[in-house]
Amino acid sequence: MTLSGKHILLIVAGGIAAYKSLDLIRQLRAQGADVTPVLTRAGAQFVTPLSLSALAGRKVYSDLFDLTDEAEMGHIQLSRSADLIVVAPATANIMAQMAQGAASDLASTLLLATDTPVMMAPAMNVRMWDHPATQRNLQQLLADGVLCVGPNSGDMACGEYGSGRMAEPAEILAAVAAHFGPKPLLGRRVLVTSGPTREAIDPVRYISNHSSGAQGAAVAAALRDLGAVVEFVTGPADVPPPHGAVVHKVQSAQDMHDQVMALLPVDAAVFTAAVADWRVKSAAAQKMKKTGKELPVLEFTENPDILAAVSQLPVRQRPRLVVGFAAETENLIDHARAKLRKKGCDWICANDVSPQSGTFGGSDSQIHLVTAQEVETWPHQSKQAAARMLAARMAAALGDR
Ligand code: CTP
């Protein structure tokens, strides 16, 4: 990755996550980017202009009316000279200003006066993030073409837990690099299944599994970053779907199967979903009650195997590249090879999900890419990095149109 010759205008708004922007500057510059910081009045409550300018090696712009010398660098010129504007942290307030087109200070004026692409990394309290006003603003900004990284879920500085934590500097850096990177999948449509499925026992109970949806979301984001239109078919996952993907929410394996079939044809399909193999044969129409006598006995029936069904479609309907995931707790490669043959897909990404591996619900994975010809063991890396490797491989396999 190199960002050599790229000029990033970094707007630092007022949030506790502003301290991470100092590291972001360091990481952007380490990749060769020039960074010009813009600090809002609220941002200056969290980081000092001196630390920003020391790290950026440049003057910090901090208020519209400081720009007395229009000849030096007017606000229009300031925003237009950049290749990308990054807003990190993007607070609820600056998102509202951006969505409304307000120009009340230097940062919001720059954002309104520019036609340079804008990327934001939201950071705020979980209630503020979940508030309908912020979600409305987010949808507006995405529709306006603003790129969005994060936010992540986790413990927050305010003591609460939830979504709203700013993406890590390395994630923002990866998104910036992807923005400037090649788009070999432009014009391609790729389907990704993700998350667990839920199989009803009765209207209030279900059978499911521990899949967080993290790997699927990462694969979809990586494919999107390479320019693909991503049809993202997801069960009820913990990790939110990636911005920019076309999201289709489903519950059961049968719903997922039907949705996938309805979306064909596509150029390629990746099946990361942890689909329940069985469902209760006849889910009760009403909530099952304790009788005090016998325990209930559930009779199961097999769910459709979506990966196998798509892999075995006639050539004209079959995606050119079908990728399955194999979650195994033992004999990883042997099981993956058998699965590749049985299902008829082109590649299997074999993943060790034994409890000691920490893959399920964890942030890392180690993939073994199994094809008819060979097995390639990839490094132990983040699910995002693995997803980028897979997306690059897929782009190479699909080749030029
Ligand atoms: N898969 C699917 N539909 C199913 C079951 C699995 O599309 N009904 C897909 C998964 O998304 C994954 C791959 O098949 O890409 C392998 O799933 P896995 O659960 O590991 O394999 P199983 O088919 O369940 O085989 P086994 O029970 O032997 O592990």
CA atoms of 314 and 330, how far apart (whole Å): 33
Query: Which segments in the chain show pLDDT lower than 70?
Result: 1, 64-74, 358-362, 400-401
Q: Is 303 in the pocket of ligand 1 (CB under 6 A)?
A: yes
| CATH number among 3.40.50.1950, 3.40.50.150, 3.40.50.2000, 3.30.70.1450, domain 7-180 | 3.40.50.1950
Give the pLDDT confidence score for residue 292 in this predicted structure.
83
Pairing of strands 84-90, 7-12: parallel
Q: Is 190 in the pocket of ligand 1 (CB under 6 A)?
A: no
Instruction: Name the token pair of 239.
Output: 């990790």
> How far is the centre of ligand 1, averaged over its atoms, from the C-alpha of 326 (Å)?
7
Give the pLDDT confidence score for residue 354 in this predicted structure.
77
Q: Is 325 in the pocket of ligand 1 (CB under 6 A)?
A: yes
Residue nearest atom 18 in ligand 1 by C-alpha distance: 326
Q: What is the pLDDT of residues 10-52, one digit of tens each?
A: 999 999 999 999 999 999 999 999 999 999 999 999 999 999 9
Pocket test for ligand 1, best of 193, 275, 332, 349 (most atoms within 8 A of CB): 275
> How far is the centre of ligand 1, averaged over its atoms, from the C-alpha of 275 (Å)?
6
Atom of ligand 1 nearest to the CA of 325: 15
Q: Is 275 in the pocket of ligand 1 (CB under 6 A)?
A: yes
CATH 1.10.3720.10 fits 189-400, yes or no: no
Give the pLDDT confidence score for residue 191 in this predicted structure.
98
Q: Is 324 in the pocket of ligand 1 (CB under 6 A)?
A: yes
Atom of ligand 1 nearest to the CA of 310: 7
- Give the global pTM: 0.84
User: Strand, coil or helix: what is 194?
Assistant: strand
CA neighbours closer than 13 Å in the CB half-sphere of residue 351:
25
**Residues forming CATH 3.40.50.10300 domain(s) in the chain:** 189-400
Give the pLDDT confidence score for residue 382 in this predicted structure.
87
CA atoms of 160 and 178, how far apart (whole Å): 31
The answer to whether 32 touches 5, Cβ cutoff 8 Å, is: yes
The answer to whether 311 touches 343, Cβ cutoff 8 Å, is: yes
Active-site residue set: 158
> How far is the centre of ligand 1, averaged over its atoms, from the C-alpha of 276 (Å)?
8
The answer to whether 242 touches 213, Cβ cutoff 8 Å, is: no
Atom of ligand 1 nearest to the CA of 342: 23
Alpha-carbon torsion 22, 389, 234, 354, what sign?
Answer: negative
Give the pLDDT confidence score for residue 76 in this predicted structure.
73
**Residues forming CATH 3.40.50.1950 domain(s) in the chain:** 7-180
Give the pLDDT confidence score for residue 356 in this predicted structure.
74
Residue 57 region, left (φ>0) first, then alpha (ψ -120 to 50), else beta?
A: left
- 23: nearest Cα among 122, 165, 152, 169: 169
Average per-residue pLDDT in the chain?
92
> How far is the centre of ligand 1, averaged over its atoms, from the C-alpha of 188 (Å)?
25
> How far is the centre of ligand 1, averaged over its atoms, from the C-alpha of 199 (Å)?
15
Rg of the chain over Cα atoms, rounded to whole angstroms, equals 24
DSSP 324-337: EEEEESSSHHHHHH
> How far is the centre of ligand 1, averaged over its atoms, from the C-alpha of 234 (Å)?
15
Q: Is 273 in the pocket of ligand 1 (CB under 6 A)?
A: yes
CA atoms of 132 and 216, how far apart (whole Å): 26
Give the pLDDT confidence score for residue 179 in this predicted structure.
93
CA atoms of 127 and 144, how far apart (whole Å): 24
Continuous H helices in 3-131: 18-30, 49-56, 70-73, 75-80, 92-100, 106-112, 126-130
Q: Is 340 in the pocket of ligand 1 (CB under 6 A)?
A: no
How far does Cα 295 stand from its chain's mean position?
A: 43
Q: Is 93 in the pocket of ligand 1 (CB under 6 A)?
A: no
Q: Which helix (H) or strand (E) element contains residue 361?
A: none
